[in-house]
Structure 1
């Protein structure tokens, strides 16, 4: 069976050049393009033979890991099933074991393998520490190449076998965007290395060596540096990665070979969800519905899933030379600012469901307070725990009051402004069950005004806390942290209470207009 599948793979490739000169020209052009690009890159990498070891690490580990990330992400952008799709063999009675091995070996035949073979020559030549390191580099290149091809195999099969619904593909797209954010530090370090008189920091390469994407690639560098512990870690991570990918591949093939009907959803044991934990009042009802929306609505989930990855935005600054200690204080306030910003258009997110609030004559205060339940439930632990972690990374516990004050100021003032803006300046947004990335075009400037008021107002309200925090941390002002905490919490609470009160009045007065907007948009 394995030999038959390999023969079919070769025949499939041969068929691409048999049907007309146009197909032949495309195939030949693709092969030549891959050869030209990969040979050029391999030549540049092999030119690092006489460079310092840290520079070689920065390039081959950083660039190679970025290449492996591409092998894992690109298959999710395709719609056409891959040649290795096991569902094509599921109806033929083929043994699962033979199908797994045959399809895996057949997927190795193609342009990606050709590109990896050419690139591996430059990777091996980049290490100039003797025959022993060169031999290790050959083994590392083989392991990294097999890992890349297995990543592509598992990703393409996961895309075709499991991710069949639109929601699943949207989540896969979000994952791809987040992986691209992870690649930003690699690109920054490679750019630094290419500048005259500059060298790579090696920070990104060292971090990637602990991941499945860079463990095998970093092995020769650790052997050359005599770091025995890191060599053992590289071998273990690379071996576990290959074993996990092969197990995932076998599991996907097994799933494709079994015709399992979709289980029917049974809600008997689900109860009332969040409504069981809120008070039986108008405010509690709005809070329960808001919590349910934030957990189930894809539009809220797509926004929430980005928040944990916001700390990655400071990584390029650290690579550029900014102190990592100071950068540790930045992510939590940014996350609080974004969390306070999220509800600023929640009335538009309700769409036609807003009629329930209007028809039941829900008081504006109950509506405004109830909608604050999800961001406060997430934001309060974020401020408390995140500030402690950030201060620990900063290395000076005197910065804790400043971090708490600034983070709380951004969160509370943002939620207060959101309570007003969502009722006063709603604008068209994605409808329920639509693609969260499909933002409708706006004919006016309402969206720009609403977002500008939100960000500008939160920054203005938190300016006193930022000023006192800066004086305390930079200038050594003794009471700076205390005043930052007091001003952040004080101004934030005032903005929250005032925003809820004003937003309640605006919502009650404009309820019919808001309902008309929801029905129209």
Structure 2
């Protein structure tokens, strides 16, 4: 079995160069990009060999590599040429297929490139004072862990591939932006003057005791006689064993099950409804996602929020407020407006809200489902804006405080908006009208708007005060501001959802009357 799979792997590897010209060109370009990237990594590792930068760069870089291996294949929909499920028709035992295909996975150009990098990593460990045997074993362990994670991710991705859609891919892209962009900004803002920046050293220390960084940290921990050596070794061994176990179980499951047949027409037409679970909350969230990204009234709101946040900060700069502080303000203002933007969401439904009322949708499902699009839009924007602001401000120790204040304003605004949109909706432009058209109405709705804005600010006062203290006096208050903001924001968010759900259940007739008359 093993020999047969290995021959098949070699045939597939060579056959990749015999396909259509376009496919061959893409394959060659991809290999060239990998080689160039690997060459740059090897040159960089050789340049820092024997320096204090080497352990931190290897641990953090290795952690990122393993995180990518565990997520990218499933997120990117990479096809597995040696999918274990394709062997199920031959009557071979799942365990034999699992380990034969796993062994064949090492015969690939990307893994060959990774092995070359691992050799250099082992050399850096030896230069740092680690025993050659330990450095070599850990380099091999890192490569094997990478292959296990990548193969498992690829297999699990194939199991739910029939349920993937273009919308889900968009969410994955947003998640990648949330992770990659802040990390890139953080690294670019550090002072790389030959010594390890304190923030980067702390990140490396944290990564060394995670399943993704432990295997890379062991040689350097042994060389420095660190107190974390035993912990890193245990985590690395347990991670590898757990990866092997998950792979074995996943292959067995894949070979014993078949996909539920789904027609191409059904798969293509479900859109966001194929992404979210088939529950009341999931259906409301899917419907909300559709009109948030297609209705120009919502699109206008999303575009206006960042512009308004920047515009509100400019007068302070003219008034003489230091530039560093002014650059911090747009993020909390955006968080406040993103939380406030849903305060009249029911009114934007117009008469379509009858579907929620007459179908017996629970209040909690309606309240929570309507907030999903705002969360999907706001979280990536804030996650990118926070490190950008901190990078310009120049003091990363203040980042937790900015996170806390922003989370407090955003979550509190969402919670209060969940109440306001049911208790005090007011007329807005109808679907298809200009988002800037003001309809004739008896009430202006200014009271609801003002209460939500002021309420979110009032609920955020504790975290704001701690953040101001961290900014002007004691930077150690930054962590307290973060936890205070997240805690208070979560409480207000939960309370707002509960109250809004009760009001929605009790005010169904009033909501229908409002939709028909506004």
Q: With the length of structure 1 as denominator, give the TM-score of the two structures.
A: 0.59
The equivalent residue for 1:206 is: 205
Distance 2:407 2:117 in 1: 49
The equivalent residue for 2:274 is: none
Distance 2:365 2:90 in 1: 56
Distance 1:68 1:404 in 2: 29
Alpha carbons 2:9, 2:104 under 8 Å: kept? yes
- Note the alpha carbon deviations across 1:377-398, whole angstroms, 9 max, x for none: x9xxxxxxxxxxxxxxxxxxxx
The equivalent residue for 2:136 is: 138
- Note the alpha carbon deviations across 1:446-481, whole angstroms, 9 max, x for none: 6999xx9999874444445656875687399xxxx9
- 2:71 pairs with 1:81: no
Alpha carbons 2:70, 2:153 under 8 Å: kept? yes
The equivalent residue for 2:296 is: none
The equivalent residue for 1:437 is: none
The equivalent residue for 2:281 is: 294
Distance 2:54 2:437 in 1: 48
Task: Check 1:25–1:414 CA distance in 2 against 1; reply closer, same or farther (3 A cut).
Answer: closer
Distance 1:427 1:126 in 2: 65
- Secondary structure at the aligned position of 2:107 is classed as coil
- 2:225 pairs with 1:216: no
Alpha carbons 1:340, 1:415 under 8 Å: kept? no
Alignment of 1:9-28 (within 5 A): 9-19=9-19, 27-28=27-28
| Per-residue deviation, 1:91 | 1.1
| Per-residue deviation, 1:30 | 4.1
Task: Check 1:68–1:371 CA distance in 2 against 1; reply closer, same or farther (3 A cut).
Answer: closer
The equivalent residue for 1:38 is: 38
The equivalent residue for 1:445 is: 435
- Note the alpha carbon deviations across 1:362-418, whole angstroms, 9 max, x for none: 9xxxx9x95699569x9xxxxxxxxxxxxxxxxxxxxxxx99998996466433443
Task: Check 1:196–1:352 CA distance in 2 against 1; reply closer, same or farther (3 A cut).
Answer: same
Task: Check 1:354–1:40 CA distance in 2 against 1; reply closer, same or farther (3 A cut).
Answer: same
| Per-residue deviation, 1:112 | 1.8
| Per-residue deviation, 1:334 | 10
Unaligned runs of 5+ in 1: 264-291, 304-330, 379-401, 429-441, 515-521
- Secondary structure at the aligned position of 2:58 is classed as helix
Distance 1:211 1:301 in 2: 37
Alpha carbons 2:351, 2:516 under 8 Å: kept? no
Task: Check 1:237–1:175 CA distance in 2 against 1; reply closer, same or farther (3 A cut).
Answer: farther
| Per-residue deviation, 1:11 | 0.7
- Note the alpha carbon deviations across 1:58-95, whole angstroms, 9 max, x for none: 32111221122222222124446311211211112222
The equivalent residue for 2:178 is: 181
The equivalent residue for 2:235 is: 237
| Per-residue deviation, 1:111 | 2.3
- 2:516 pairs with 1:512: yes
Distance 2:406 2:40 in 1: 49
Give the root-mean-square deviation of aligned CA atoms: 5.3
| Per-residue deviation, 1:211 | 2.0
- 2:237 pairs with 1:247: no
- Secondary structure at the aligned position of 1:132 is classed as coil
| Per-residue deviation, 1:45 | 1.9
Distance 2:285 2:218 in 1: 41
- 2:121 pairs with 1:123: yes
- 2:54 pairs with 1:56: yes
The equivalent residue for 1:154 is: 152
- Secondary structure at the aligned position of 1:424 is classed as coil
The number of residues matched between the two structures is: 395
Alpha carbons 1:219, 1:234 under 8 Å: kept? yes
The equivalent residue for 1:439 is: none
Distance 1:203 1:447 in 2: 52
Task: Check 1:131–1:51 CA distance in 2 against 1; reply closer, same or farther (3 A cut).
Answer: closer
Alignment of 1:121-520 (within 5 A): 121-127=119-125, 129-130=127-128, 132-166=130-164, 174=171, 177-178=174-175, 181-183=178-180, 186-193=183-190, 195-196=192-193, 199-200=196-197, 201=199, 202-228=201-227, 230-259=228-257, 293-294=280-281, 297-299=284-286, 344-346=344-346, 352=352, 354-355=354-355, 357=357, 370=363, 410=413, 413-419=416-422, 424-425=427-428, 444-445=434-435, 458-463=452-457, 474=469, 507=511, 510-512=514-516
- Note the alpha carbon deviations across 1:153-204, whole angstroms, 9 max, x for none: 001111112443247x966875675465345564345324564477432222
Q: With the length of structure 2 as denominator, give the TM-score of the two structures.
A: 0.60
- Secondary structure at the aligned position of 2:44 is classed as helix
Task: Check 1:236–1:26 CA distance in 2 against 1; reply closer, same or farther (3 A cut).
Answer: same
Alpha carbons 1:61, 1:217 under 8 Å: kept? yes
- Secondary structure at the aligned position of 2:79 is classed as coil
- Secondary structure at the aligned position of 2:49 is classed as helix
The equivalent residue for 1:105 is: 103
| Per-residue deviation, 1:51 | 2.5
| Per-residue deviation, 1:10 | 0.1
- Secondary structure at the aligned position of 2:80 is classed as coil
Distance 2:27 2:91 in 1: 33
Alpha carbons 1:59, 1:190 under 8 Å: kept? no
| Per-residue deviation, 1:40 | 1.6
Distance 1:468 1:98 in 2: 60
Distance 2:243 2:447 in 1: 48
Unaligned runs of 5+ in 2: 262-278, 291-330, 372-404, 440-445, 474-483
Distance 1:162 1:241 in 2: 24
